[in-house]
Amino acid sequence: MNSGFVAIVGPPNAGKSTFLNHVLGFKLAITSDKPQTTRHRLLGVCNREESQIVFLDTPGLHKPMRALNKLMVRTAMAALQDVEAVLFMVEASAKGLAEGQRVAGMLAEAKKPVVVALNKIDLVRDKAALLPMLERVAGWAEWAAIVPLSAAKGDGAAAVLRELAGLLPQGPAIFPEDMITDLSERFLVSELIREKVFALTNQELPYSTAVTIDEFIEPQNQRGVVAITATIHVERQGQKGILIGKGGGMLKKIGASARLDIETMLGQKVYLDLFVRVEPKWSSQAHGLRKLGYEE
């Protein structure tokens, strides 16, 4: 069989996490219409009959301003050193192609074979426009392959996997076949809560939040309730008020929505208790990043 590591890279909001969740058949990476949702490098194991592709989903490559964003970009670039091949996701739109061309120059330094997935083709109304898009992408560099893709619908996903598997060396599986990720349930729970913050709040607030798990108490049997206590950290007192909402309404909405997804993931009933805490300028300071779990 062919087995190895593949980094998923691209500009923010190109559909990297949506693709990973689809091929894994499991919601590993949180998704949002807002860019820069992924902050950590996520490992996901995709097992097929003749291949095991270990994906490293990375934060979107963008121009960093805060310490958090700089860490995210370093995380994405570092992943390129640890893989046999790269999946480069580009959105099939004028804006997506402009952002993709910028990122293409960054990938040249990695000197790894790259498969380009021109994603979100389902949103292109004039299908005749796809060929010029593909030709434009082909002119950026020498690619191993370019594959049209709709990660949301799964169209083209099998072709992407075939192209990537062909770039990997032959050898035994790296991880057990029943393994999907090396991430802990506590981490996945914190990400699901953060996803709801992104979905239900606006402007700068989602980008100023981090989630930590204070308690994760498992029941003595499968029929019991998992008790989880979590804190959503913000940077300013005003953000805390918005996140809690009038009469606690916003925090209740976030908690109720997150709890349903957590129960689906764990396969058990969940009691979720959320708190909000102000952590001034955490996203701009190294000690704040370390305190809230963001490390190199």
| Residues of each annotated binding site for GTP | 10-17, 57-61, 119-122
Which residue is listed with tokens 């370093």?
A: 74
Count Cβ atoms below 10 Å from residue 131 Cβ, excluding itself.
10
CA distance 291 to 182: 22
Q: Are 295 and 210 in contact (CB under 8 A)?
A: no
SS3 247: helix
The dihedrals phi and psi of 83, each to the nearest 5 degrees, come to -125, 165
CA distance 88 to 10: 5
Using a 10 angstrom Cβ sphere, with 0-12 exposed, 13-18 middle and 19 or more buried, the burial of residue 228 is: buried
CA 279 to chain centre: 24
Q: Are 197 and 232 in contact (CB under 8 A)?
A: yes
Q: Which residues are annotated as a binding site?
A: 10-17, 57-61, 119-122
Q: Is the dihedral of CA 215, 291, 76, 131 positive or negative?
A: positive
Mutual orientation of helices 130-138 and 94-107 as an angle, nearest 10°? 20
CA distance 243 to 275: 10
SS3 245: coil
CA distance 273 to 29: 22
